[in-house]
A and B are shown apart, each in its own frame.
Chain A
Amino acid sequence: MGLVDKNLSLRNRNKMLIGVWEDEDALLSATQAVVDKGVHIHDVFTPYPVHGLDRIIGVKRSRLARIAFFCGLTGLSLMFTMIWYMYVKDWPVNVGNKPVRFSPSWIPVMFEGTILCTAFGMGIFFFLRNRMLHGIKNDLLDERQTDDRMIMTIETCEGMDEKGLIDLMKEKGAVETREFHQGVQTVI
């Protein structure tokens, strides 16, 4: 699996069915109904995090926590190495004839370095994985999907009962249904 989540791009895809909701509960029950029919939901776009949605559509648990841990370890080792090199190897300073080796006074700097690397390491991986870059063109399906509307997208494949799915969406409270193909949306 590549670093960037390819699912986040809507370009070069088969025809997509789109359902628009304005109510969170209706959306949740609709996604559950669609999934129960054995249909794979490509993604759901919401203006705020709707809890439970990721589990319903089968989004895997992110591994960013593990990445954060390893970034933290890297930061800790880097800071330890840096202090050891400067303080022990390159220019040992005799302070009251105390031994020149690890002491608790190294801890604050090591700790801060750990936090810094954890935050920024994880941040960078978060941006990469999420296909986020300054100025990148966004694949917006509806101008109000960052305001108050929730959009469900289903990528069609051969043999899919498209009409049945559209009807199900409408029955489950979709305020609008559309088709999206090669950058063009049609209300159906």
Chain B
Amino acid sequence: MIHDSLIRERLVTGDKTAADVTRDISRPILNQPSSAWKIGFTLSLIFLGIFGVSLFWTVWTGIGVWNINKSVMWGWDITNFVFWVGIGHAGTLISAVLLLFRQKWRMSINRSAEAMTIFAVVCAAMFPVFHMGRVWVGYWALPLPNAFGSLWVNFNSPLLWDVFAISTYFSVSLLFWYIGMIPDIATIRDKVKTKTAKFWYNFFSMGWTGSTRSWARYELVSLILAGISTPLVLSVHTIVSADFATSVIPGWHTTIFPPYFVAGAIFSGFGMVATLLVVARKVMNYENYITIGHLEAMTKIIMVTGTLVGIAYLTEFFIAWYSVVEYEQYAFINRATGPYWWAYWSMMSCNLIAPQVFWFKWARTTPWFIFIMSIVVNVGMWFERFVIIVTSLHRDYLPSSWVMYSGSLTEVGLFLGTFGIFFTCFFLFAKFLPVINMSEVKTILRNRE
């Protein structure tokens, strides 16, 4: 039975009507860009330029311009790859997993989180692709017959699984995002005035009219896409973790990696969602749609997943001791007390200790504080990947192969540059597409159960 909820807090405040929702959400699209948007977009373009220069230098000279070497053969590049893939996962979690669990608070944030997924996966894909060195033969990673015979790709390698996983994840996320957006594109189509805008929104709305028949199929397709995206998102980060876990390198060769990586991905993804939305709700005046209640729910997830990864860090240590394998034990003691101790303790304090502050309601409901904490989470999760990769590699079995590693200027430029890609895409998205799912939000205006 459907009735008005007496106890649940409203998900959308300000007594909004369906027409208000359309007006509020389509305002940035129908009006000229604000000065905040212009400043943000210009900054993003500058970072995009840094990416372009760093990438050009990498391809022109070769990946020797990176500081990776024969011991630390993965450095900032794969750190950044895992960092960005992880960020992407919150989008799918919000749109798919929370849809399956019928969590209605996801409706105000799923669109931007899904957009974040797609842009983050694009950023992530840059690193392994350009790490190949000769990027122009990158298509060799696909299952095509070799030019010199019929030698095929190696299906036993997790690196190949990654090719399939990341490309599937990107395509399915894009489809999910697009299908979810069609009704809203149709709404914008019926609001815009200029001929060009009308043409493009009409083109992408695919003739949507809001027929009950279409809605019935749309809801079924959304549910099935959510159902298949959930194991997909788990498989993707499991496979990313298998890149490490299937090797025989102390510090990588652990069975805890898949769940630990998935929890870390959700943690970092929610960190980035919080970073984006705390700013967006203020700048775009969406405080009635992305309420303190939404922020609070996100911080709770951040706290739980942060604690989960924290437990994983401690379990790794315990298992290294329990295994009685001296190389494993050394790898972990070296992480915490070796030359990269600062990275390890940055990770521990940002990911395990800092999120515990969300036990306090004040911390969960104060936007500026959540913003700072979301940055802390992002920094911590970058360090987690750096710790896993660099501390495990820099002291090989042979002491003659022991090296220190720090990113070169080009590597730093590439990493900062991916923020350029990410935010350029995000600003364009915020200008041309509805940041909040209008058709779904309209269903929760009455706070029904």
Q: Which A residues form the contact surface with B (CB < 8 A)?
A: 5, 7-8, 43-51, 53-54, 57, 59, 62, 64-65, 68, 72, 82-83, 86-87, 90-91, 93, 95, 103, 105-106, 108-109, 111-113, 115-116, 118-120, 122-123, 126-127, 129-141, 143-148
Contacts and interface: CB of A to CB of B under 8 A. Distances in A.
Chain B binding site: helix, strand, loop or mixed by DSSP?
A: helix
Contacts of B214: 8, 130, 132
Contacts of B202: 135, 138
A113 B179 CA distance: 20
Contact of A108 (B22, B179, B205, B235): B235
A107 to B, nearest CB: 9
A131 B207 contact: yes
B409 interface: no
B220 A53 contact: no
B403 interface: no
A112 B168 contact: yes
Given A47-B442, A59-B216, A112 B211 contact: no
Interface in B142-184: 143, 149-156, 158, 160-161, 164-165, 168, 171-172, 175-176, 179, 182-183
Contacts of B19: 144, 147-148
A124 B264 CA distance: 34
A8 B231 CA distance: 34
A61 to B, nearest CB: 8
Contacts of B228: 68, 72, 115, 118-119
A174 to B, nearest CB: 17
Given A48-B442, A108-B164, A132-B208, A82 B143 contact: yes
Contacts of B353: none
A138 B132 CA distance: 47
Nearest to B246: A105
A123 B221 contact: yes
A109 B187 CA distance: 39
A147 B18 contact: yes
B240 to A, nearest CB: 11
A50 B218 CA distance: 12
9 contacts: A49-B439, A64-B224, A109-B160, A115-B228, A122-B221, A126-B221, A140-B190, A145-B209, A148-B18
A11 to B, nearest CB: 12
B139 to A, nearest CB: 16
Contacts of B152: 86-87, 90-91
B93 interface: no
Given A54-B212, A130-B217, A138 B207 contact: yes
B155 A109 contact: yes
Contacts of A132: 182, 206-208, 214
Given A86-B143, A108-B164, A109-B160, A49 B204 contact: no
A115 B214 CA distance: 23
A99 B138 CA distance: 30
Given A43-B212, A48-B439, A118-B228, A64 B143 contact: no
Interface of B: 2, 17-19, 22, 143, 149-156, 158, 160-161, 164-165, 168, 171-172, 175-176, 179, 182-183, 186-187, 189-191, 202-221, 224-225, 228, 231-232, 235, 239, 242, 438-440, 442-443
B151 A134 contact: no
B151 A123 contact: no
What are the 8 A-B residue pairs with the smallest beta carbon separation, nearest first? A148-B18, A136-B207, A132-B206, A86-B152, A108-B161, A48-B442, A112-B164, A148-B19
Nearest to A103: B156
Contacts of A118: 224, 228
Contacts of A8: 209, 211, 213-214
B20 to A, nearest CB: 9
Contacts of A131: 207
B88 to A, nearest CB: 16
A64 B217 contact: yes
A148 B438 CA distance: 11
Nearest to A86: B152
Contacts of B221: 64, 122-123, 126
Contacts of B211: 7-8, 43-45
Contacts of B235: 108, 111-112, 115
A90 B150 contact: yes
Contacts of A136: 206-207
